[in-house]
């Protein structure tokens, strides 16, 4: 049996049951089941005598015989009771369900192993619904000591897929494949870390003989899982630097220098200068930049991003910023437009609310190159949005975007098959000079190409347009000056069908010349005759598939290169990422950190107050407003909820309106259910200082920049996560005045809520906060819905297993430094496992 086989190959797994296991647990193949590990183990190393039992509700295991079985009437229905005894005493086994088939299955006076939770009543012991197995069967099985308990669901249990059945499936699978399990690490790594073999580790992870064996098995499997993730990420980084070319920004020109000298609002911090230097080095190297920029709220990431975009403009390219919300996109647009005022740079914004007429104008300006910087939301990813020459893409709050969304930015240059014009002219001139008559005939055949559509071309197009090969092809597309029959832009692959009119010696020679030119321009060209396509289309598609496979193999390990040069990518986040998570999810990116605030900024003072202190908090608000300051008050809910005892926004707004009456005080209100125009109006009133208090939900978590606001009050702060609390606090402290964050909560605090609030009071360091958040919430929740599937770990945990993670990463780095292509014989196992994983792994993308 092969591990790639579906789980229906396992004895007892029907098609219906396989469907259930897939929908409930994601188990599709034998390999999935083999790597579906128990979440706990029942230690059955000890056997008890009945006389040794204590009334403590523990789980016990006893060997004995059933001497009699009877049905006992009770108020509702009946129960089945079996008398069970060993050499030291007697007790009862009890069943309330399934009595008939259990009674028929029980064997009197046969030795059984009984396991279950002990009940003690009126001085007598019993076990309700025990696990029961004949001693003769028990001895045959693998699980003689510790028994695994697998994750399950209510639907599986109700459908008869018990934990016992799952154990049976895994045992059967291990018996079938055990001898064929291949080692996936080198002997050197196994020896260095004193690791258990792969085969023994899998056996002991499911059916451990002892606690010691279990620990060794888990350590081996955790190391392997984290090692291969690191190897993938580091290989991606290596490919990025050596195989994927990037636009070269050679010039530091007029735009950059003018802005730096005349428009920069403040001196850059040393951290900003260091990060800018790292970016400049990347974009001048000829390799594609893929960099993550981390910086706490207010650390000045936007200025660094703008300077990077000006480098692109100085080298004849366009730039874009993609933000997750309209509010944040608008803030970037206003900030960038203000900073570039007086410079001859065209900036525009594209969001979901931009009208059709304006959209068309933006699309046109992008494609003709008159629009230099475009800022927007997900609207930038629409197919109609094409740049003339996109040189750099900045992605803000990157964790809000999925991998597939971010990858779309790679294809935003129009046309996607753009080639350097000079190269095309140079290549064609060279061939025209060398072979003038053939070149002339080739150009004549080119003129007729669109008019001639053969039956063979139509048959092949039917195969290609339905994406049966999982690749998008275009028909009769222009490449350089040539109309080609079919082209895949992502694979740089051209397919041509030689019609009936391409049969003379001269015509064949002209077609060969055409192929040579297209090849020199960077394309792979496959040619088929009419007869081949009409006679055996299956064979033709098979050859195309093979060619696609071969082109992927030309890069080490089957990595897939990009079609044309992609824009440089800079992803930014104000949500600091803990080191262990950065190594796991962003290990393929170069990471830059802005770790100091701009000069003049003061640390925000944070305090925790209970609801009973509200009057003194209101007095503090009045005092700050008297000084000319503004105040945020943030609530977790929009409407009252019976399930949660928290102040809601509307109730809070009315309360604040009573304590801060008009006309002396003006209040803005903003929440997610408002129309965008109304929301923007209220925001602008606050930004302009027309209102002193903004009552809002977390829509202001990102995207509001009011330097005059000095107080952030967070109602029901125990309801918020650490990341949200930190982001909200970042809305104040943006000016030169001392700012404050007041965390209001009820007295009822869970241990986690207490830890969150204590952390906020103790530190403003985003990285320390992120580490605490990671421990409290785990990696899946921190990454957000778009990214939670990236770390689909089977057995390791990046928090608990951080030491193993560091060791695995260092091992992967050392390995690639010595043998970047894993071509040495001693690394054969690693390369084989790596290639196999590349077929299914979720993190195999060229962009992070």
Kindly report which listed range (88-97, 515-524, 656-665) carries the lowest average pLDDT score.
515-524
Rounded to an integer, the average pLDDT of 485-506 is 76
Q: Residue 634 has what pLDDT?
A: 92
As given in the structure block, the two tokens for residue 270 are: 């040393």
* pLDDT over 50 at 675, yes or no: yes
User: Of 100-104, 287-291, 383-387, where does the model show the most confidence?
Assistant: 100-104
Residue 680: closest CA among 397, 382, 359, 349: 349
Domain 605-763: which CATH number of 3.90.550.10, 3.40.50.2000, 3.10.180.10, 3.40.50.300: 3.40.50.300
Q: Residue 557 has what pLDDT?
A: 40
Confidence of residue 128 (pLDDT cuts 50, 70, 90): very high
* pLDDT over 80 at 703, yes or no: no
pLDDT, tens only, 734-774: 777 899 999 999 998 998 999 999 999 999 888 788 888 87
Return the CATH number of the domain spanning residue range 254-283+300-416+566-573. 3.40.50.300
Kindly report which listed range (20-34, 315-329, 720-734, 771-785) carries the lowest average pLDDT score.
771-785
Confidence of residue 831 (pLDDT cuts 50, 70, 90): very high
Kindly report which listed range (102-111, 482-491, 548-557) carries the lowest average pLDDT score.
548-557
Q: Residue 411 has what pLDDT?
A: 67
Residues 177, 5: contact at Cβ < 8 Å? Answer: no
Confidence of residue 522 (pLDDT cuts 50, 70, 90): confident
Q: How far is CA 370 from CA 47, 323, 348, 593, in A?
A: 82, 22, 11, 33
CATH topology of domain 45-142: OB fold (Dihydrolipoamide Acetyltransferase, E2P) (2.40.50)
pLDDT, tens only, 338-359: 999 999 999 999 998 899 999 9
Q: Residue 503 has what pLDDT?
A: 67
Q: Residue 761 has what pLDDT?
A: 96
Q: What is the distance between the alpha carbons of residues 788 and 798, in angstroms, rounded to a whole number? A: 13
Q: When comparing pLDDT for 662 and 575, which is higher?
A: 662
Where residue 268 falls (left for φ over 0; alpha for ψ -120 to 50; beta otherwise) is beta
Confidence of residue 555 (pLDDT cuts 50, 70, 90): very low
Q: When comparing pLDDT for 550 and 596, which is higher?
A: 596
- Backbone CA torsion sign across 707, 713, 716, 717: positive
Instruction: Characterize the bridge pairing of strands 709-714 and 630-634.
Output: parallel
Q: Residue 441 has what pLDDT?
A: 75
Q: Residue 506 has what pLDDT?
A: 79
* pLDDT over 50 at 562, yes or no: no
Q: What is the distance between the alpha carbons of residues 12 and 17, in angstroms, rounded to a whole number? A: 9
Phi and psi at 216, nearest 5°, equal -65, -40
User: Domains of the chain: which residue ranges?
Assistant: 45-142, 254-283+300-416+566-573, 421-558, 605-763
CATH architecture of the domain covering 421-558:
3-Layer(aba) Sandwich (3.40)
Q: When comparing pLDDT for 28 and 298, which is higher?
A: 28
* Average pLDDT of the chain to the nearest whole number: 83
Kindly report which listed range (283-292, 371-380, 489-498) carries the lowest average pLDDT score.
489-498
Kindly report which listed range (247-261, 486-500, 515-529, 618-632) carries the lowest average pLDDT score.
486-500
- 254-283+300-416+566-573 and 605-763 in the same fold: yes
Q: When comparing pLDDT for 648 and 307, which is higher?
A: 307
| Dihedral, 798, 804, 810, 815 alpha carbons, nearest 10 | -110
Residues 66, 53: contact at Cβ < 8 Å? Answer: no
As given in the structure block, the two tokens for residue 762 are: 């103790």
pTM of the full structure: 0.61
* pLDDT over 50 at 563, yes or no: no
């Amino acid at each position: 049996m092969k591990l790639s086989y579906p789980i229906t190959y396992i004895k007892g797994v029907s098609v219906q049951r396989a469907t259930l296991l897939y929908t409930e647990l994601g188990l599709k193949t034998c390999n999935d089941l083999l790597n579906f590990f128990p979440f706990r183990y029942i230690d059955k190393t000890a056997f008890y005598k009945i006389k040794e039992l204590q009334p403590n509700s523990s789980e016990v295991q006893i060997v004995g015989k059933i001497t009699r079985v009877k049905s006992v009437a009770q108020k509702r229905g009946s129960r089945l009771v079996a008398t069970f005894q060993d050499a030291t005493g007697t007790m009862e086994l009890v069943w309330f369900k399934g009595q008939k088939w259990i009674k028929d299955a029980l064997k009197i006076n046969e030795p059984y192993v009984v396991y279950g939770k002990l009940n003690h009543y009126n001085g007598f012991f019993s076990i309700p619904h025990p696990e029961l197995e004949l001693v003769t069967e028990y001895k045959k099985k693998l699980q003689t000591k510790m028994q695994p308990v697998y994750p399950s669901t209510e639907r599986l249990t109700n459908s008869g897929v018990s934990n016992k059945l799952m154990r049976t499936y895994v045992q059967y699978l291990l018996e079938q494949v055990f001898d064929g399990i291949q080692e996936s690490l080198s002997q050197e790594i196994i020896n260095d870390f004193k690791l258990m073999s792969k085969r023994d580790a899998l056996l002991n992870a499911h059916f451990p003989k002892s606690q010691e064996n279990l620990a060794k098995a888990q350590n081996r499997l955790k190391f392997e899982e984290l090692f291969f993730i690191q190897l993938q990420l580091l290989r991606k980084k290596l490919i990025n630097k050596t195989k994927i070319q990037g636009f070269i920004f050679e010039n530091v020109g007029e735009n950059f220098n003018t802005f730096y000298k005349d428009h920069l609002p403040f001196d850059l911090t040393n951290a900003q200068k260091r990060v800018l230097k790292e970016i400049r080095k990347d974009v001048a190297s000829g390799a594609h930049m893929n960099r993550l920029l981390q910086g706490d709220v207010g650390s000045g990431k936007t200025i660094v991003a703008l300077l990077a975009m000006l480098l692109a403009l100085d080298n004849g390219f366009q730039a874009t910023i993609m933000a997750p919300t309209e509010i944040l996109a608008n803030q970037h647009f206003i900030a960038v437009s203000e900073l570039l005022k007086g410079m001859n740079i065209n900036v525009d914004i594209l969001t979901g609310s931009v009208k059709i007429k304006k959209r068309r104008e933006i699309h046109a300006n992008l494609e003709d190159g008159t629009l230099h910087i475009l800022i927007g939301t997900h609207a930038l990813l629409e197919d109609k949005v094409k740049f003339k020459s996109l040189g750099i893409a900045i992605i803000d709050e990157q964790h809000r975007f999925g991998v597939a969304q971010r990858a779309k930015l790679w294809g935003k240059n129009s046309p996607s098959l753009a080639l350097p014009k000079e190269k095309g002219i140079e290549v064609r001139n060279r061939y025209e000079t060398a072979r003038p008559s053939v070149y002339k005939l080739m150009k004549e055949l080119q003129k007729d190409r669109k008019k001639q559509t053969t039956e063979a071309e139509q048959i092949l197009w039917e195969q290609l347009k339905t994406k049966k090969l999982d690749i998008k092809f275009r028909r009769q597309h222009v490449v350089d000056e040539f109309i080609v029959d079919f082209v895949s832009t992502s694979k740089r692959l051209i397919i041509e069908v030689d019609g009936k009119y391409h049969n003379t010696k001269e015509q064949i020679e002209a077609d060969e010349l055409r192929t040579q030119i297209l090849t020199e321009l960077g394309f792979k060209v496959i040619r088929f005759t009419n007869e081949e396509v009409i006679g055996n289309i299956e064979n033709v598609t098979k050859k195309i598939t093979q060619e696609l496979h071969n082109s992927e193999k030309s890069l080490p390990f089957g990595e897939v290169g990009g079609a044309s040069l992609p824009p440089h990518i800079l992803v930014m986040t104000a949500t600091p990422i803990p080191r262990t998570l950065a190594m796991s999810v962003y290990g393929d990116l170069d990471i830059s950190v802005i770790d100091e605030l701009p000069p003049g900024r003061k640390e925000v003072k944070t305090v925790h107050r209970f609801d009973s202190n509200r009057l003194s908090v209101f007095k503090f608000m009045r005092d700050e407003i008297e000084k000319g300051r503004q105040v945020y008050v943030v609530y977790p809910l929009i409407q009252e909820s019976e399930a949660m005892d928290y102040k809601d926004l509307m109730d809070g707004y009315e309360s604040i309106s009573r304590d801060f009456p008009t006309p002396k005080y003006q209040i803005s209100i903003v929440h997610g259910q408002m129309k965008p125009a109304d929301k923007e109006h209220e925001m602008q009133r606050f930004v302009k200082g027309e209102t002193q208090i903004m009552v809002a939900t977390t829509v202001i978590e990102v995207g509001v920049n009011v330097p005059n606001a000095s107080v952030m009050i967070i109602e029901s702060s125990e309801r918020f996560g650490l990341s949200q609390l930190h982001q909200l606090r970042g809305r104040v402290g943006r000016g030169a005045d001392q700012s404050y964050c007041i965390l209001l909560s009820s007295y009822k605090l869970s241990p986690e809520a207490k830890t969150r609030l204590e952390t906020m009071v103790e530190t403003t360091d985003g990285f320390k906060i992120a580490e605490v958040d990671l421990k409290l919430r785990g990696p899946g929740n921190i990454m957000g819905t778009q990214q939670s599937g990236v770390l689909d770990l089977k057995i390791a945990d990046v928090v608990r297993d951080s030491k193993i993670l560091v060791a695995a990463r260092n091992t992967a780095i050392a390995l690639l430094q010595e043998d970047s292509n894993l071509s040495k014989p001693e690394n054969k196992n690693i390369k084989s496992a790596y290639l196999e994983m590349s077929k299914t792994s979720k993190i195999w993308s060229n962009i992070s």
